[in-house]
Amino acid sequence: MTHKKVLVADRIAKEGIDVLRDKGYDVDVKLDLTEDELAAQIAPYDAIVVRSATPVTRRVIEAAENLKIIGRAGVGVDTIDLDAATERGVIVCNAPTSNIMSAAEHTMALMLACARQLPQANASMHEGKWERSKFLGKELYEKTLAIFGLGRIGGLVAERARAFGMKIIGHDPYCSPERADQLGVELFERVEDVLARADFITVHLPKTPETIGMFGPEEFAAMKDGVVLINAARGGIYNVKSLSDFVAAGKIFAAGIDMFEEEPCTGSPLHEFDNVLLTPHLGASTHEAQVRAGVQIAEYVSSGLEGSIVPTALNMTLVPPEMMDAVGPYVPACQMMGRILAQILGCIPKTLRVEAAGTIANADASILVAGALDGILAYRRAGSVTPVNVESVAVRHGIKVDTASIADADEYASAVKVVADGVEVGATLFGSMQRPRIMSLLDYKIDIAPAKQSLVFEYVDAPGRIGAIGTLLGNEGVNITTMQIGTKPSEKTALVYMNVEGSVNDQLLEKLSSTLDFKNVWSFSL
């Protein structure tokens, strides 16, 4: 009998390796491999387990002929090419709860150390000095702590800070008022409303284009004098150059930084300041967290290799074959519809309804809901929604979800309709590749395969409108590749869905809307 092979490419707890070996897998531990070495050696392995040191790139994944699952013994998967893995049908999973307690405690440790100037006092003592009057600190009691990001770790920090008698305020667009109330956090919608109120600020945000450099000169200037800043989340959320400038100016009393944009970080503008406490990415560096991460990821990798559900799958979730055969192909369609709805609404909806029709009417709709919700949230955060976590994700974002089964899909064998805050889009699948095709939008009946870039116009129907649109787009260098028109005769309105190529910006949209007097104009990026 040939045993399945697992490659452990980064250091994980021995307990995790023991779990894999006890289950009968052949486990090889090969550390510090370069991309060339990993690509050359990955082919025989069914699974690979990594931490943050070893990138699993597209090149590595494409060389992995037998690879079925990638396990990250920790939380972040920035070093794994999720798109490449998904294209190859390789599951990517992590151990998201393994280090949350350690990270929360490290945040509190940084906060206390900064407030009481412990690193400076310790260094002074080791120099043989006794400078008691020099190190006048701050209490946490009755101070205001601002938490940006109220996910698992941010929530744990809130609970611990409350025990110190702190007042907790926060900002998280995806945190529901109910969750904030449970955590004892006063939520604010605008970042600027939080900054001037906080004596301490800690960030627990994912790494996204919106969060990198989120705090720069304007934000630091708006903070209280003597504020203490903590970052044990992701490097770069505080602009390092600006932060150093404000530390030098005395605006910031102290900062505790555990995460850096480029690691290892052995030099930065912050290194020169005694009141900036720097730690080398220690948030998860406890014995307990390492054991949990190793054991959890070993269990998840084993589940994936045995064909069971992987609870933390980030790009797919294994479900019973009969369910996957029925509804699995609709997941990309639901993600696509979710993205469209997000771009129409411009915000997270309060209600979400998923209707499965025709041959898939009686299938478990959880995977469809997960796909739609994942699409809606795709532009706002990192990570994925799965059938396993879809309910908790919906609750966290304050979205009321319901589903329906419709026996008749009209002229289609099967179809899915997604409605968010009353805005509707429907899709079916076509061709041997089961590509998504939009069959309705805003209750207009259309039939078009969406491209990566589309323009959608809603207007009062009148002769010559399509010609005018085409002329204006042509003058702006935008090419129409395919187009569909839907009408509502009772309302005398029409909707045009155009797949386009070329540069579409806000100025073009404004020109289209003002020149041709449209009811609505949208640009979709899928």
In the chain the domains, ranked by start, together with CATH numbers, are: 5-98+289-315 (3.40.50.720), 100-278 (3.40.50.720), 319-441 (3.30.1330.90), 451-526 (3.30.70.260)
Active site residue 263: yes
Candidates 160, 281, 380, 435; catalytic one? 281
The reported pLDDT for the residue numbered 381 is: 55
Q: Is the pLDDT of residue 382 over 50?
A: no
- Beta-sheet strands, E only, within 275-337: 276-278
Confidence at 1, pLDDT banded by 50, 70, 90: very low
Of 91-100, 105-114, 150-159, the one with minimum mean pLDDT is 91-100
Distance CA 389, CA 373 (A): 11
Candidates 106, 234, 339, 396; catalytic one? 234
Q: How far apart are the first and last CA of the chain?
A: 45
User: Which residue is associated with the tokens 């005395």?
Assistant: 250
- Name the token pair of 241: 């150059």
Beta bridge partners of 57: none
* 195 alpha-carbon distance from chain centroid: 24
Confidence at 219, pLDDT banded by 50, 70, 90: very high
Confidence at 435, pLDDT banded by 50, 70, 90: confident
Of 302-306, 314-318, 363-367, 370-374, the one with minimum mean pLDDT is 314-318
Q: Tell me the pLDDT tens digit for each residue of 498-524.
A: 999 988 888 888 888 877 778 888 999
Q: Tell me the pLDDT tens digit for each residue of 260-303.
A: 999 899 999 999 999 999 999 999 899 999 999 999 999 989 98
CB 296 within 8 A of CB 98: yes
Pairing label, strands 167-171, 493-501: unpaired
Mean pLDDT of 97-118: 95
Of 48-52, 61-65, 393-397, the one with minimum mean pLDDT is 393-397
Distance CA 340, CA 372 (A): 10
**More confident site: 202 or 300:** 202
Q: Is the pLDDT of residue 61 over 80?
A: yes
DSSP 66-109: T--EEEESSS--TTB-HHHHHHTT-EEEE-TTSSHHHHHHHHHH
- Name the token pair of 11: 């250091």
Distance CA 72, CA 312 (A): 10
Give 329's DSSP letter: G
Rg of the chain taking only CA atoms, in angstroms? 26
Q: Tell me the pLDDT tens digit for each residue of 32-44.
A: 999 999 999 999 9
Distance CA 30, CA 44 (A): 14
Dihedral sign for Cα 345, 347, 353, 355, please. Answer: positive
Which of 205, 214, 202 lies closest to 256 in space, CA to CA? 202
Of 244-253, 298-307, 446-455, 490-499, the one with minimum mean pLDDT is 298-307
Of 125-139, 309-323, 446-460, 487-501, the one with minimum mean pLDDT is 309-323
Q: Is the pLDDT of residue 473 over 70?
A: yes
Candidates 65, 210, 263, 501; catalytic one? 263
Beta bridge partners of 351: 400
DSSP 187-234: E-SSHHHHHTT-SEEEE-----TTTTT-B-HHHHHHSPTTEEEEE-S-
* 103 alpha-carbon distance from chain centroid: 18
Q: Is the pLDDT of residue 379 over 80?
A: no
Task: Round the average pLDDT of the chain to a whole number and report it.
Answer: 90
The reported pLDDT for the residue numbered 159 is: 95
Active site residue 62: no
- Name the token pair of 101: 């307690």
**Percent of the chain, pLDDT > 70?**
94
- Name the token pair of 226: 């003597």
Active site residue 281: yes
The reported pLDDT for the residue numbered 321 is: 46
* 191 alpha-carbon distance from chain centroid: 19
- 417 in helix, strand or coil? strand
